[in-house]
Structure 1
Amino acid sequence: MSEQKQSVLEGFKVFLMRGNVIDLAVAVVIGAAFTNIVNAVVKGIISPLVGAIGTKNLDVYSSCLKDPCGIDAKGEPTGVNILWGSVLNATLSFLITAAVVYFLMVLPMSKYLARQAKRKKEKEATVEVMEATEVELLKEIRDALVAQRGSGHDNP
């Protein structure tokens, strides 16, 4: 049974040491830091721009579904309040995050990979042409040697 525990621990160690897990951990850490940047952009730029029309804090936008909406004397909410401003704020954060990820990471990587694939294809095409040229050259040499042997045997 200790061998099974040991092999499970070894398997777990191998799993942790794989590049995919480490890449995922790095992505999570960078994603968390990136979230702070996006939230700062939304709070510092987008919300004030929207606030030029209304309020700077999108979270205060709401609609009352069942009156009376508010807070009673005990500090508890009354009525049914739909907080669509919070949803709008989260949606803006998501769209900004998606745009930044797409334009700063996905699009440049796609272009880079397309260039690499094109270069590889061109290189393979060049190698094929060179191989075809070599084959033709070897055939010509063979034919010339055959012709020399043929003419050489006829002369003596």
Structure 2
Amino acid sequence: MLRGFRDFVLRGNVIDLAVAVVVGAAFGAVVTALTERVLQPLVNAVGSPRTGGLGFEVRAGVPSTFVDLGAVITAAVNFVLVAAVVYVAVVTPMNRLLALRKRDEVEEPASPPEDVQVLQEIRELLRRQVALQEAGAPPAGPGGGAGA
């Protein structure tokens, strides 16, 4: 059971996923700080200073109904940046590594199935028989060379 689990973990997919989660979480903090401290103030500058940023109030004069579009834009930029870094830092190198492994592996040609081998033998026997007939020799077979 432990051997199967070890093979599963070392197969590659689990390791890829673990690395992606760790890198994504670590880089997420950097991107969040960048978007909240740099991008959010720029987006909020477009909105009204009375409402506190880019957005609108569903019911005028009720701050709890404020729809903050700036926060949605910031979250979208945050997602795109994290996804791009994970792709460049993890997925691209892993794909290159897998391509190198496949290129290095030499595949041995698989032997044909038994029925195909039998058919190939029959084909060769028929070719020999035709060649002997063309050369004028009697065909070799169960009835002898007399031709019945």
TM-score computed with the length of structure 1 as normaliser: 0.46
Counting helix residues as a fraction of each chain, which structure ranks higher?
1
Counting strand residues as a fraction of each chain, which structure ranks higher?
1
Which structure is higher in RCO with an 8 Å CA cutoff and minimum separation 6?
2
